[in-house]
Chain A
Amino acid sequence: MIEPTLPSVPVSADSPIADLTYRNYDGPLHSRAVRWWTIAVAMFKLHTRPLSFKIVGAIATLPYLFIIALLWLQGQIASAQGGRPSFLVSTGLVDMTVGQKFAIQFYNALGYQLLYLVILTLIAGAGSIASDNRNNALLIYLSKPITKNDYLLGKWMGLFLALFAAAFTPAILLYLYCLVSYYSDGFLRDEPRLLLHVFTCTALAAATLTSIMIGLSAWSKSPRITGAILASLYFAGQAVAFAMWRYSSQGDPGKDVILAHSSIGGAISGLSQGIYGVTVHTLRGSMRRGFRTVDYPPPSGTIMWAMVLGLILVGVVAARIKIRAVEVIS
């Protein structure tokens, strides 16, 4: 007997029984231009949902809390001691040079935070395109009315926003703290473009890590391998750059600055230093030979910009080449 297994009821507007069989969708549609944003939003939610991301993100705020504590402490000591420089200043933890008093703290904070950003990138991003490859998710994406560029841009933006949010939120909190506490001290007057610099440096750090991760991820089917490769590129790269610099400069921090910054982390931090425009004052020497302050101005801006933009470009291009639409149906 041929029995209809799905309810077939007379389709009349007056029927008390609703017709719940399949119907088409003829409703409104968004324009094509925003498709990548849909992907970006979905990816952002996906990246920021795991508990590990939230925890590491929370840990990544610690450097800023530390700096808030330093500045507060400095303020307390300064008012107690009058004009004499506090131990914080003399050890270089706090830099009172006008014009970079605060910028340098942001610069330092970014330096500490980079490690956590890399970890966040690993947590969030390794899965990004690699797990799509493994799960054949590209079949789904590319069979929709989107282009490869939409897909790539969406993925990139999703990861970037996740990393940027994690990096920028504590920075903006620090900025607001400084604004509130040190406004009378000339916070805005002395360093008017600081907010812009914070935004730019954080964005560049996030963009660089995102691009490299996306670039690696597109070539792999295994999120773990991708993560391992990024981690080794970052950390081993840093170690190698340091070793080369050590050899070439015999330990003199003033020499071969570019070489010292020839790693992912180095390039980001070198560029940030340039953008913030801070000169790092450090104490060098020993108890025996006595201490002296040495100044390290930011490394050449052009070269740093080239390195960072180069890394971003390489990552994006590598991903673009690899994404093939054609394997949609096996």
Chain B
Amino acid sequence: MAVATITDLTVRYGKKTAVDGLTVEIPEGCVGLLGPNGAGKTTLLKTLLGFLQPVSGSGEVLGLNVATDGLKLRQKIGLMPEIDCHIPGMNAVTFVAFCGEMAGMPAAQALRRAHETLQYCRLGEARYRDLETYSTGMKQKVKLAQALVHGPKLLFLDEPTNGLDPDGRDEMLNLVRDVSHGKGLNVIVSSHLMPDIERTCDSVVVIRNGKMVRQGTIAELRTLDTVQWTVDLRIPSHEFQARLVEQGARLLSNAGSHYRFEFKLQPGADIGSLMLTTAKHVGAQVRGFEPASRSLEEVFMEAIA
């Protein structure tokens, strides 16, 4: 069952046609929304939130029509914006509870739920301090908590790891992964950092110039048509490379001591042993090998080329 079905949607933003006859079905689970800056991702998200009226086409999100059911949509959607945003003069608890109340929750429920989501987002005692004193990481957590407080069915995350330390990024990505799997919540993540997308999302949608150019599960998109392996040596070795090529491999790329080969062997062939044997014969030390797949970044580049 699709979370959102968009058919031939066209949306104008100012003078620009930002979304141009877009047709895409966004599946359940965690979906990455990718695209170069200015591709129309943000306009699409605004339209799905019911802020922009499409010029033509239709969009259905969670069974609601984007052109007419703006308010009902926002009841079921939570947004974690990219840029810094907070309501001045409040601490985290007040802020998140207020957001809950604005979504219609009774005050007592909103307060209880605010604590619950702040706890889930790992914000401890700091929740009683004024938001203006928070570090970037804490602000991100609060943004996520306010998006979750009213129990939405769909979550939009815009650059969720923006400004976060590696530790904070880890925490945030774990949260996103956890909340999007098995909790009845669908998530759309918009980000430029492919590792973030790979870690949290099951599938991606690539948008370019207002149109959908690639869509699929990450696993599908990353599979290669041919058998490719990457191998790392201790130090670069021409002999190793030459020896492998002799045995039928084709060199695809080489950066220092990191190699990428294509093999035309039978499926099930023990390429690992082949490489270890070859290395032994030329006196090279292998430090790692694995079957290559397209990195998500490569998928992205190809899709928008």
Contact = CB atoms under 8 A, between A and B. Distances in A.
Q: Do chains A and B touch in the complex (CB under 8 A)?
A: yes
Nearest to B81: A139
A131 interface: yes
A315 interface: no
A142 B70 CA distance: 11
B89 A46 contact: yes
A39 B87 contact: no
B31 interface: no
Interface string B69-104: 001111101010111111111100010001101111
B46 to A, nearest CB: 6
Interface in B41-59: 42, 45-46, 49, 51-52
Contact of A22 (B72, B83, B89, B179): B179
| Interface of chain A, main secondary structure | loop
Interface in A1-54: 5-6, 20-32, 35, 38-39, 42, 46, 49
B71 A147 contact: yes
A136 interface: yes
Interface residues of B, number: 53
A25 B150 contact: yes
A83 interface: no
Given A30-B104, A145-B75, A135 B84 contact: yes
A132 B183 CA distance: 33
Contact of B99 (A23, A131, A144, A147): A144
Nearest to B82: A330
Contacts of B106: 28-30
A145 B72 contact: yes
B184 interface: yes
B103 A22 contact: no
B183 A24 contact: yes
A5 B104 CA distance: 32
A55 interface: no
B174 interface: yes
A141 interface: yes
A76 B72 CA distance: 66
A41 to B, nearest CB: 9
Nearest to A35: B102
Given A27-B109, A32-B104, A140 B42 contact: no
Contacts of A146: 71, 74, 102
Given A23-B183, A25-B113, A328-B46, A32 B85 contact: no
A192 to B, nearest CB: 40
Contacts of A141: 87, 102
A240 interface: no
11 contacts: A21-B183, A25-B149, A25-B150, A28-B106, A29-B105, A35-B102, A127-B88, A144-B99, A146-B102, A329-B81, A330-B82
